[in-house]
Amino acid sequence: MSAALPLFRLDGRRALVTGGSRGIGLAIAGTLAAAGAAVTLAARGAAETEAAAASLRAGGLKAEALCADVTDVPGFAALIAARPAFDVFVNNAGANRPKPLSEVTEDDYDAVVNLNLRSAIFAAKAVTARMVAEGRRGSVINMSSQMGHVGARNRTLYCASKWGLEGFTKALALELAPHGIRVNTICPTFIETPMTEGYFRDPAFLNEVLTKIPLGRIGQPAEVAAAALYLACDAASLTTGSALMLDGGWTAS
């Protein structure tokens, strides 16, 4: 076995993935579990989340479901406080309502910014408090976006939330470094998931996206999951306060 391979293992560690019942979250949960972690999939839909966890267990992996709504800040904090500390936290739950600012409503703001930024901040607070209390060194991975580094039409709310998440990540990385807790972001371009597949049925939209990605294709959940594994494990032991770009070159130009 290569000497590098143990660096990519997570045996004996506990990982929590929010938004873990489908799409990118489920892909990440499966990849972390395949690397040896005992994974908790957290999402609002109890039946769907349990089915996702069961599908991982059917493959011989360690996975459990946690019915949780990260927008319920005190409720989520109580769930975390009642459990042993996690070693890895993937702060993945998120949403978007693309439209021009002239059409944005307060409800749109609440839905996007409350989930992408407010809930992410307080979820990280709850999880890292347990890590610090138990003296657990570990990794927090905030799911950002290439839109946390650039602007785009019809994405004022989304960009605002992800730029905010980037700043939060850097500040939290400094706070938690003395505790041996690393904090980073993953910044994907458009990824093919059930949430995005409707967008790609529009040939004009798909063409516009592809013209901005030098590699010439949209991403796959497995590629985001591989990045999460890197940031979660000891291979990234010197990486904190960083943004890992998975954008096919979008932000390079």
Hey, which residues are catalytic here? 158, 162
Token representation of residue 99: 């439209």
Cα torsion angle, 205, 120, 7, 32, sign: negative
* Separation of alpha carbons 198 and 232, rounded Å: 31
* Separation of alpha carbons 42 and 72, rounded Å: 13
Distance from first CA to last CA of the chain, Å, rounded?
A: 39
Residues 6 or more apart from 169 whose CB is under 8 A from it? 142, 144, 183, 184, 185, 241, 243
